[in-house]
Amino acid sequence: GVRRQANARAEVLLAAGAVNSPQLLELSGVGDGALLRQFNIPVIADSPAVGRALQDHLAVSYFFRSRVPTLNDQLAPFLGKVRAALRYALGRRGPLAMSVNQAGAFLRSRSELTRPNLHIYFNPASYSTTTAGPRRRLMNPDPYPGFLMSYNTCRPMSRGSIHIRSSDPLMSPAIVPNSLATDADVRDVYDGARVVRRIAAAAPLAEVTEAEREPGPGMQSDPDVLADFRRRAGTVFHPCGTCAMGADPRTSVVDPRLRVHGVTGLRVVDASIFPNITSGNLNCPTIMVAEKAADLILEDSSGPVA
């Protein structure tokens, strides 16, 4: 390729997301000095927190057969898919115009907790998104009435990492989620299973629930629930924390004004700066980070950029 150089007049904003922002920092010489030297990358700033503190929401779905029709009945048959696609294309109506999760809850699974520790999702359709093999199967609703409930820990305590494996920018970084590394996170797995099953067994849902299909009523003990979670759980795509904000350069990557510690004229503005993952979905909080960053940049700028 051709090497090109671009110079910024004011400052550089890095907003490549929680996976690629730490990767780009490390490739550029901002990261753990020992790691960078391993790949012969000149160290601009020895910043050991880059790529650390990866957090994410890890969820599992519980599948139920229903006694009454659900969206499966509309979306599983081929003709139903065609009808739904036409309704959406012609009038922006029908099942494809709806959010996939029709109900949800943030709740405390234990009375001593002061804030919700579980996020529950309810979906009037059942389908699998986790499949073996290198390619994800397209979501296809089950060919019978069904629904699903999912849950994840709101504030996981486990911390993973994202680091470069090479100085080649085209090589993907190593992502180590390190999920379920703390007792608290494991306990929430047990609690989540109990809560989901309690909801399914309570009126009015109990009246329309025929049976729990997966993991199935046989999976009741804590070890079984955990083994099932480890086997089937997946990310809900909320990685963050890999360029965490904080005052201490040894434990954080950007300062409270989102400026990279030890580097002038460089900010990170994306979900990677979250010191702790938010309880809910990340899109809105990330937009809030961007809005705040815009204010900070204007405050810090000495005047209009020529």
Q: Which residues bind ligand FAD (CB under 6 A)?
A: 15-18, 20, 24, 237-238, 270-271, 281-284, 286
Q: Which two tokens stand for residue 72?
A: 């499966």
Residue whose token pair is 């590394």: 181
Report d(CA 32, CA 53) in Å as an integer.
Answer: 13
Name which of 180 and 289 has its Cβ closer to ligand FAD.
289
Count of beta carbons in the 10 Å neighbourhood of residue 132: 5
Q: Which two tokens stand for residue 169?
A: 């920018």
Report d(CA 127, CA 107) in Å as an integer.
Answer: 25
- Shortest distance, CB of residue 198 to ligand FAD, whole angstroms? 25
Task: Evaluate the omega torsion of the peptide bond into residue 204 and state whether it is cis, within 30 degrees of 0.
Answer: yes
- Shortest distance, CB of residue 241 to ligand FAD, whole angstroms? 11
- Shortest distance, CB of residue 15 to ligand FAD, whole angstroms? 5
Name which of 130 and 220 has its Cβ closer to ligand FAD.
130
Name which of 38 and 281 has its Cβ closer to ligand FAD.
281
Name which of 85 and 237 has its Cβ closer to ligand FAD.
237
Count of beta carbons in the 10 Å neighbourhood of residue 67: 10
* CA count, 13 A, side-chain hemisphere, 10: 11
Question: Of 57, 119, 238, 261, which is the active-site residue?
Answer: 238
Is 238 marked active-site?
A: yes
Q: Is residue 276 within 8 Å of residue 241, measured between CB atoms?
A: yes
- Shortest distance, CB of residue 104 to ligand FAD, whole angstroms? 11
- Shortest distance, CB of residue 221 to ligand FAD, whole angstroms? 33
Name which of 195 and 293 has its Cβ closer to ligand FAD.
293
Report d(CA 300, CA 220) in Å as an integer.
Answer: 56
As annotated, the active-site residues are 238
